[in-house]
A = this chain, B = another copy of it.
């Protein structure tokens, strides 16, 4: 059903992504869909979380700089047009409604933060970064990404990925 949601998102504007359309595409009844998810927002967030974990993965190159470069380049690569539309739509929804922001944070952002956090924790184990800086680094990295995304203050390509990786790894 998460795959059906993403396939549909590739064809439809976020507003056209209804529970009924998702159920139809997945070949299940609306009742079945509602047994697992209470709303369209929940399905979309789970689909984004699942896609992120599947396509971005968790590199293990042996150094923080290498891990961050691989992880952030994969993050850049995962941003196809359908995903981008969904990211803009959840950002607008989060800014407009605090309860929705909490849902987005806990159901999708938390999974991305956990993966990046794991990568930084391993670097802290190796003594490459302090625990306190590792926590702040998650905000710096995803913060600069969403800031560039939402307000178009800069491109999000491999140059962004490498510069961010180098700055964080340098301390």
Given known contacts A91-B95, A101-B152, is B136 in contact with A164 (CB within 8 Å)? yes
Q: How far is the CA of A95 from the CA of B163 in the complex (A)?
A: 24
Q: How far is the CA of A132 from the CA of B167 in the complex (A)?
A: 10
* Contact code string A127-160 (vs B, CB < 8 Å = 1, else 0): 0000011001001101111111011111000000
Q: How far is the CA of A12 from the CA of B132 in the complex (A)?
A: 40
Which residues on the B side are within 8 Å of A37 (C-beta)?
A: none
Which residues on the B side are within 8 Å of A104 (C-beta)?
A: 151
Identify which of B95, B136, B171 contacts A150 (C-beta below 8 A).
B95
* Prevailing SS type, chain A contact patch: helix
User: Do B105 and A152 have beta carbons less than 8 Å apart?
Assistant: yes
Q: How far is the CA of A2 from the CA of B86 in the complex (A)?
A: 35
Q: How far is the CA of A170 from the CA of B130 in the complex (A)?
A: 12
Check if A82 is an interface residue, CB within 8 A of chain B: no
Q: How far is the CA of A144 from the CA of B137 in the complex (A)?
A: 9
Given known contacts A145-B143, A146-B146, A147-B143, is B153 in contact with A105 (CB within 8 Å)? yes
Q: How far is the CA of A93 from the CA of B147 in the complex (A)?
A: 14
* Contact code string A85-111 (vs B, CB < 8 Å = 1, else 0): 000110111111010011011000100
Report which A residues bind B (CB closer than 8 A): 88-89, 91-96, 98, 101-102, 104-105, 109, 113, 132-133, 136, 139-140, 142-148, 150-154, 163-164, 167, 170-171
**What are 5 residue pairs bridging A and B, where the CB atoms are less than 8 Å apart in the complex?**
A91-B95, A113-B153, A143-B146, A146-B147, A170-B171
**Known pairs A109-B153, A139-B153 / 15 extra A-B pairs, C-beta < 8 Å:** A92-B92, A92-B93, A94-B152, A105-B151, A139-B143, A139-B147, A139-B154, A140-B144, A142-B147, A143-B147, A143-B148, A146-B146, A146-B147, A146-B150, A146-B151
